[in-house]
Amino acid sequence: MEDTAGTTRTSELRVLRDVTDLDDVLVRALRAVQQAVCIADVTLPDEPVVWVNDAFTLTTGYLASETVGRNCRFLQDHLAEAGYDVAGPAARIRALVRERRSGTVVIPNRRRDGTVFLNELSLSPLTDPLGRVRHYVAVQRDVTTRVQAQRARDTAHAEAAALADQLQRQLVPARLPAVPGLDLAVRYHPATRADGSRGEVSGDFYDLRVLPGGDAIAVIGDVSGRGPRAAATTAALRWAVRGVAGATSSPARLLGLVADAVHDALDDRFATVAAVKVPPANTPVTVALAGHPQLLLLPAGGAPRFVGRPGMLLGPFGDVDLHDETVDLEPGDALVLYTDGVTEAQSPDGELLGEEGLLAAVAGREPQDAEGIADAVLAAVARHVGEGPTDDLTLMVLRRVG
């Protein structure tokens, strides 16, 4: 029969021996690890270092005999005068020790040979058998390469964002000209990601020019894709529109000339564009669509409806089949030009706002000025997407007044 009592006593003796040996095991483990470790006594004046491992010497160049008895701040001597940020990290270290908390702080340190490195300190309080914190252990890691790489990435991202902003500003006019008899409003919102940050450069654009005879030409468009290539293509398209705007009184013919001019520039991309000619008097406007969504007409005394004859998009073909449509725009009426970022705005469950959602955003409302109409459309999109991302979204409201 097995002697269970003898087995139990043997196990107890083994546990006691293990406990007795534990301190020695821990010390040998700390000596063996490749990361620098130092221990400070925070109950003594100036909280001196009382122990370091060999990796500390390899990292800093300082021997144990040169370190023990000193506060670790000697590793930051004269770094502030050299322009390094020492005060902030040092204050965080003091706060952790004062509040007896653990934490990680990155602080510049100087090695014995004078070279500077970024030291990531993982600080942890050590309690005695009565639960009092007497020592702090700091595990140190040289993270200079990692931090420098992150700074390089941050710099590259900042430069890319600045370039994107510059490109974005060049895709649209700094301001629209005043057009007698028209109340104007524009909204221009590049895409956002799920975290709320802005996406790549938008392919949307808009413009409005007043020709010598008094006609105004309004255009809005969307080039496929995003980023610098899309921006370059969008800029070429916008300036092509400007270049041929005075060559014809027909929006369909204008877009046909543009299609021929930018066919090669679009390469493997395509674009949808809407153009509207607005005469100075209270006469009908003329609308042409090159693959673009129909425009939304808001009569002052009637139900909203979509207008414009669909036509071929620009890009794949140099010769496109487009059509003009005349639309009555009486005083108080408004015409809403928009890109598909409005109707294709997605709810969190993937449902599109669609044309019905756009109609619902403006239907049954009291007559509004152009700004109020633009705000109503944007509010509808915001409600629909909730906290989700948005696509490039641009709209222009032309409202006849007087």
pLDDT of residue 21: 57
| Cβ neighbours for 166, distance < 8 A, ≥ 6 positions apart | none
Q: Which 3-state string (H, E, C) describes the chain?
A: CCCHHHHHHHHHHHHHHHHHHHHHHHHHHHHHCCCEEEEEECCCCCCCEEEECHHHHHHHCCCHHHHCCCCHHHHHCCCCCCCCCCHHHHHHHHHHHHCCCCEEEEEEEECCCCCEEEEEEEEEEEECCCCCEEEEEEEEEECHHHHHHHHHHHHHHHHHHHHHHHHHHHCCCCCCCCCCCEEEEEEEECCECCCCCECCCCCEEEEEEECCCCCEEEEEEEECCCCHHHHHHHHHHHHHHHHHHHHCCCHHHHHHHHHHHHHHHHCCCCEEEEEEEECCCCCCEEEEEEECCCEEEECCCCCCEEECCCCCCECCCCCCCCCEEEECCCCCCEEEEECHHHHCCECCCCCECHHHHHHHHHCCCCCCCHHHHHHHHHHHHHHHHCCCCECCEEEEEEEECC
pLDDT of residue 10: 47
CB 278 within 8 A of CB 284: no
Q: How far apart are CA 57 and CA 28, in angstroms?
A: 16
Q: Taking the CA atoms of 289, 384, 391 and 218 in sequence, report the sign of the dihedral they define.
A: positive
Compare 53 and 192 and report the one with higher pLDDT. Answer: 53
Q: Quick one: pLDDT band at residue 171, thresholds 50, 70, 90?
A: low
Look at residue 124 and tell me whether its pLDDT is greater than 70: yes
Q: Quick one: pLDDT band at residue 198, thresholds 50, 70, 90?
A: low
Q: Quick one: pLDDT band at residue 83, thresholds 50, 70, 90?
A: very high
Q: Quick one: pLDDT band at residue 2, thresholds 50, 70, 90?
A: very low
Q: How far apart are CA 290 and CA 362, in angstroms?
A: 25
Q: Quick one: pLDDT band at residue 17, thresholds 50, 70, 90?
A: very low
CB 205 within 8 A of CB 340: no
Compare 167 and 84 and report the one with higher pLDDT. Answer: 84
Q: Quick one: pLDDT band at residue 1, thresholds 50, 70, 90?
A: very low
**Range scoring the smallest mean pLDDT among 61-65, 212-216, 232-236:** 232-236
pLDDT of residue 200: 60
What mean pLDDT, rounded, does the chain reach?
A: 85
CB 270 within 8 A of CB 291: yes
Among residues of the chain, what percentage have pLDDT more than 70?
85
Instruction: Report the largest interatomic distance among the alpha carbons of the chain, rounded to a whole angstrom.
Output: 116
**Range scoring the smallest mean pLDDT among 95-109, 190-204, 225-239, 388-402:** 190-204
At residue 4, what is the residue type? T
Could you give phi then psi for residue 34, rounded to 5 degrees?
Answer: -85, -10
At residue 132, what is the residue type? R
CB 184 within 8 A of CB 370: yes
Look at residue 209 and tell me whether its pLDDT is greater than 80: yes
Among residues of the chain, what percentage have pLDDT more than 90?
53
Domains, the chain, ordered by start: 33-142 (3.30.450.20), 173-400 (3.60.40.10)
Q: Quick one: pLDDT band at residue 189, thresholds 50, 70, 90?
A: confident
pLDDT of residue 262: 75
Could you give phi then psi for residue 267, rounded to 5 degrees?
Answer: 55, -120
Nearest to 402 by CA among 336, 337, 297, 329: 329
Q: How far is CA 165 from the centre of its chain?
A: 12
* pTM beyond 0.75: no
Q: Quick one: pLDDT band at residue 170, thresholds 50, 70, 90?
A: low
Look at residue 119 and tell me whether its pLDDT is greater than 50: yes
Look at residue 8 and tell me whether its pLDDT is greater than 50: no
